[in-house]
Amino acid sequence: MKSVLPRLEISLSQIRHNAQVLSKLYGKRGISIMGVSKGVLGEPSIINAMIQGGIHSIADSRIETIEMMKNAGLSAQFVLLRTALSQAESVVQYADISLNTEMATLKRLSYYARAHNTIHQVIVMVEMGDLREGVLPGDLFRFIRQARLLSHINIVGLGCNLACYGGVKPDHKNMHELSNLVAAIEQEFQFKLEIVSGGNSANYEWFHHAEDIGRVNNLRLGESILLGREALNRTAIPGLYTQAFQLVAEVIEAKQKPSLPSGDIGQDAFGNVPRFRDRGVGQRSLVALGRQDVLTSGLRSADALEILGSSSDHIILDSNSHPLRVGDEVNFTLNYGALLAAMTSPFIKKQFVANAGYMAA
Ligand SMILES: *Cc1c(COP(=O)(O)O)cnc(C)c1O
pLDDT digits (tens, 9 = 90+) for 204-253: 999 999 999 999 999 999 999 999 999 999 999 999 999 999 999 999 99
Q: How far, rounded to the nearest angstrom, does the alpha carbon of residue 15 sit from its chain's CA centroid? A: 13
Ligand 1 centroid to 188 CA: how many Å? Answer: 30
d(CA 311, CA 71): 38
**361 alpha carbon – ligand 1 mean position (Å):** 25
Cα–ligand 1 centroid distance for 225 (angstroms): 11
Comparing 148-152, 184-188, 272-276, the range with the smallest average pLDDT is 272-276
The domain ranges of the chain are 31-227, 245-352
**Does 1 score more than 50 pLDDT?**
no
Q: Which residues are catalytic?
A: 38
Whether 323 and 284 have beta carbons less than 8 Å apart is answered as: no
Instruction: Give the residue ranges of DSSP H helices in 170-277.
Output: 172-189, 204-209, 223-227
Is residue 258 pLDDT above 70, yes or no? yes
Sequence-distant (≥ 6) Cβ neighbours of residue 353 within 8 angstroms: 9, 10, 11
H helices of the chain, in order, are 12-27, 44-52, 63-71, 88-94, 103-115, 140-147, 172-189, 204-209, 223-227, 336-344
Neighbours of 359 (CB within 10 A): 17
Quote the ligand 1 centre to 63 CA distance (angstroms): 15
Atom of ligand 1 nearest to the CA of 336: 8
Q: What is the pLDDT of residue 273?
A: 87
pLDDT of amino acid 166: 92
Burial class of residue 39, CB neighbours in 10 A (0-12, 13-18, 19+): buried
On the question of pLDDT at 358 being above 90, the answer is no
Could you tell me the fold of the domain covering 31-227? Answer: TIM Barrel (3.20.20)
For ligand 1, residues with CB inside 6 Å are: 36, 38, 61, 81, 161, 200-202, 220-224, 231
| Extended beta strands in the chain, E state | 7-10, 32-36, 57-60, 77-80, 97-100, 120-125, 153-159, 195-197, 218-221, 245-258, 281-287, 299-301, 306-310, 315-318, 329-334, 349-352
Per-residue pLDDT, 178: 98
- For residues 72-94, b (16+ Cβ closer than 10 Å) or e, as one string? eebebebbbbbbeeebbbbbbbb
Which residue is closest in CA terms to ligand 1's atom 15?
A: 81
The preferred substitution site among 82, 164, 227 for testing ligand 1, maximizing ligand atoms within 8 Å of CB, is: 164
Residue 226 CA: which ligand 1 atom is closest?
8
Domains 31-227 and 245-352 share a fold: no
CA-closest candidate to residue 331, choices 292, 282, 285 = 285
Residue 7 C-alpha to ligand 1 middle, in angstroms? 26
pLDDT-derived band at 301 (thresholds 50, 70, 90) equals very high
What residue owns the CA closest to ligand 1's atom 12? 81
**Distance separating alpha carbons of residues 116 and 326, to the nearest angstrom:** 59
**Is there a contact between 227 and 201 (Cβ–Cβ < 8 Å)?**
no
CB 245 within 8 Å of CB 226:
yes
Per-residue pLDDT tens over the stretch 25-72? 999 999 999 999 999 999 999 999 999 999 999 999 999 999 999 999
Q: What is the pTM of this model?
A: 0.95
Which of 26, 200, 221, 230, when mutated, tests ligand 1's pocket best, judged by the most ligand atoms within 8 Å of its CB?
200
CATH class of this structure's domain 245-352: mainly beta
| pLDDT given at position 360 | 75
